[in-house]
Structures are given as structure tokens and as C-alpha cells.
Structure 1
């Protein structure tokens, strides 16, 4: 038995030696990888930033460029890039992709403003998700939603104002440009079109279907001159307040387009 034990020891020792050698080689390879990953051999030297728009776009690009040049193409810290532009609420997210040895391409994903909250005549752009876009973004040309005060925390999180924003965001871009303001009336959410009728959207449910119905009525010559378009039931849109209509109450349909 003693002889047998002595016979088995050398193979066991050799196996342990090979395992130890493999671990040492793996540690050396990992250390070499860490050195190369953070070395000047792959340092970011060229930065391309796309997707940034508006008056603050140059500042966004500069902040990202400065942060990126402190990285390497093998060690891109997207969290650090996001932190560099955290003061710009219009930046929703970023995508970064390394190219070759020294180039980094960064795509800015923005929150476009869809409306402007108005407090005592002062307008603040706001995104569809309720984020206030305070800064140098212009509120010109945006539908106005009057509110008693800006929301705490810099974001609209619910209530009638959020439903109004959701309704505006659902409007086709070509039609949204002509919305002067959105308000809460006795029939629910109402959108006022520039030099056009009020569009009665009701409780804000199914906004996309309601806007499609409204666009169809607006394009109907028989509805020309209507003072309001009721799309609370998008399957049965109604144009009211026409010169031949005897009823001006939005709650009572006067003219139907038969959609």
C-alpha cells in the first residue's frame, strides 16, 4: 500500500503544477488585457456626436467630446458620458460605439418638446414624458397648456396636464404644428387649432384614433367653417357650429361626417 501511495504522488503533483501554471497564465493575460484596455494605444482621439439639436447642441457635443477623450475605445464608460450631459434634460439617452483604435461615435437620443407649459404667460417647453426642458430651448410654435404652477421635481407625473401632453404627443406631426393650445373644458380635453375649430378629445383615451378622425374631418370640405369637431367617439366624428347648424352645444352633435 505504501508503495502504491508513493507511486501516485508524482502525477498528482504534476496536475497541481499544471493548474497553478494555468492560473498564473490566466492572471497574466487578464493583467495584460487591463493594461492594453486603458493604455494610450487605444485612447479615444476622434469623437463624432450625432443627434444633438437646438441651441444647446454645441454645448452637449463639447461635454461629450471632453468626457470621451478621457476614455479608450476598449473601455467606454456610457454612465460617465450620461453624467456629462445630465444637466441637459432634452438628452434622454446615449448610444456609444467604438470604431477602429481611436474613434468613438456617440448618438444622442433626445426628448423633443411637444408642448409649452404656460404660467402667467411664461412658457417652458415640455417633452411627451412630462420632463420640463428648461434651458435655451425655444417654446415658439409649441401648443400651449396653461397651468397654475410648474410641477415640483421638474416633471409632470400625472393628472389632467399629463393627459393633455399625452394627447398632444399622439397628434400627427403635420397637425400638431397647427395646434395653438390645449385646455380642459367641460367636455374634457380640447385642442384649439390655429384659425380653426376646437377639437374635443374627451377623456384622453385612444388619442391616436381620435386625431386620425379629426384629420379626416378637417379634410372634408363639407365641414369647412365648423367651430368644433367632436371626436370623443372616433368612429362617429361630428363637425358642429356650421352656419346651417341650429345647435352650438358641443355636447349635442349638429353635423356628422358619417365616418
Structure 2
């Protein structure tokens, strides 16, 4: 009897979700609306994160969803969004996130988005191959340099290579330690004595080499 009452109360109007607070989805009004609608069908004693994720499963911008109850009628939903990393000129033009997810297709290249100079053999929901490597590299660009990035490619000898607005090439060597390599580039470019280089070899991040 007690168990039956517990299950009844868990899904009763006494604990029905009425107040939904969503954070992290400011740039995606559609996802916010879908999550609010899904949450309103739940109770604070029976939150179903799987159902929340399913509600936005078709939205490529949403990377992760988590929820926390605020008894008796509130729920806080945290959303992690994917952000554009670069633009690839496939047959219709597509915007990729840093994990290779295709965020939009059939669009023109935004002025502030780097060009991904690579081909992806199966560009459907997610990029693969060189396009994925470049997207991952571009997605790691720190704020200090993000506005200067023009394009990225995978060079047969130098690996992932990013070209800045001034023409300087950042040569990463491979796809490992990307964050450290970006930080090394920031440090070198912030040095007032640095000038006149065509490239910066970041393959060993604690010993960058200009040439």
C-alpha cells in the first residue's frame, strides 16, 4: 500500500513541474521551448533526463542536457550548446562544430567563421577525416586569437595548419595537445620581439619554433 502511494504521489499534481529554469540555451530558442514543454509533463520527484534529451535529439546545437529538481514545483535544466568552429565548402556549404557535428547546411559562409579547407567523404550529420581534424583544431582557438583565424587545413607534412589574418601559419604537427599548442601560440604572438615569421611550428608546444 505504501509503495502504491509513493508511486501515485511521485507523479501527482502536488509535485508537478510548473516552474522551469533553463540555462545555457539562450542562443537556441527552439531547444528552450522543447525542453520546457517536455519538463512540464514531469514531476519534481520523477525527472526523466532521457526524455529531455530526446526532446532536443534532432537539434544539432544541443550537446548535453542535465536537470535538477527544485521541490515542490521547480526544475533547473542546464544545456550545453555546440558552437560553430568553421565552414566547409562541400556541395552546399556547411557549418561544423568543433566535434564535427554539422550545425547547418545550404548556407553561405559567415564573415567571422574560418574556412575548413578539407574534404569530408561522408558529410551528413558529422564530418570525418581531415575535416573533423580541422574542426577540432579550430574549435580550440582561444579568445585572444579566434578573431584572427582565417582558415584551417591538414598539411601532409605539417599536420593541422591554421592560417591567421596576417598570413602567419600555425603548424600543429598532429591533433594532440591542441590546447597547449594554442596557448603556446598566444604566448609567442604576445611577445613584442616577435615579428617577420611566415610560420610558427607548435608541434612541441613547450618549444615553439618560428621560421
Using structure 2 for the length normalisation, give the TM-score.
0.85
1:93 aligns with 2:38: no
Query: Would you tell me which structure has more helix in proportion to its own residues?
Result: 1
Query: 1:184-237: CA deviations, max 9, x gaps?
Result: 235332211012411122233332332233222222333323222222333443
Distance in 2 of aligned mates of 1:70 and 1:239: 59
1:47 aligns with 2:20: yes
Q: Secondary structure at the match of 1:115?
A: strand
- Return the match for 1:129 from 99, 104, 119: 99
Trace 1:136-215 onto structure 2 (pairs within 5 A). 139-148=110-119, 151-157=122-128, 159-186=129-156, 187-215=158-186
Q: 1:48 to 1:119 in 2, by over 3 A?
A: same
Distance in 1 of aligned mates of 2:110 and 2:61: 13
Structure 1's consecutive aligned runs of 4 or more residues displaced over 4 angstroms after TM superposition are none
Q: Secondary structure at the match of 1:154?
A: coil
Q: 1:223 to 1:59 in 2, by over 3 A?
A: same
Alpha-carbon distance, 1:149 to partner: 5.1
Query: 1:7-52: CA deviations, max 9, x gaps?
Result: xxxxxxxxxxxxxxxxxxxxx0010111111111111111111110
Partner of 1:35: 8
Q: Secondary structure at the match of 1:92?
A: strand
Distance in 2 of aligned mates of 1:189 and 1:213: 15
Q: Which 5+ residue runs of structure 1 have no aligned equivalent?
A: 1-27, 241-259
- Which structure has the larger Rg? 1
Query: 1:132-171: CA deviations, max 9, x gaps?
Result: 11279x85422220334573441124x2222222322333
> What is the aligned-residue RMSD (CA, Å)?
2.4
Question: Is the CA contact 1:43–1:72 (under 8 Å) kept in the aligned structure 2?
Answer: yes
Question: Is the CA contact 1:217–1:239 (under 8 Å) kept in the aligned structure 2?
Answer: no
Partner of 1:251: none
Distance in 1 of aligned mates of 2:44 and 2:206: 54
Q: Secondary structure at the match of 1:89?
A: coil
Structure 1, 80-89 or 227-236: larger mean CA deviation: 227-236
Query: 1:92-117: CA deviations, max 9, x gaps?
Result: 11111111211111111222222222
Q: Which 5+ residue runs of structure 2 have no aligned equivalent?
A: none
Question: Is the CA contact 2:86–2:114 (under 8 Å) kept in the aligned structure 1?
Answer: yes
Using structure 1 for the length normalisation, give the TM-score.
0.71
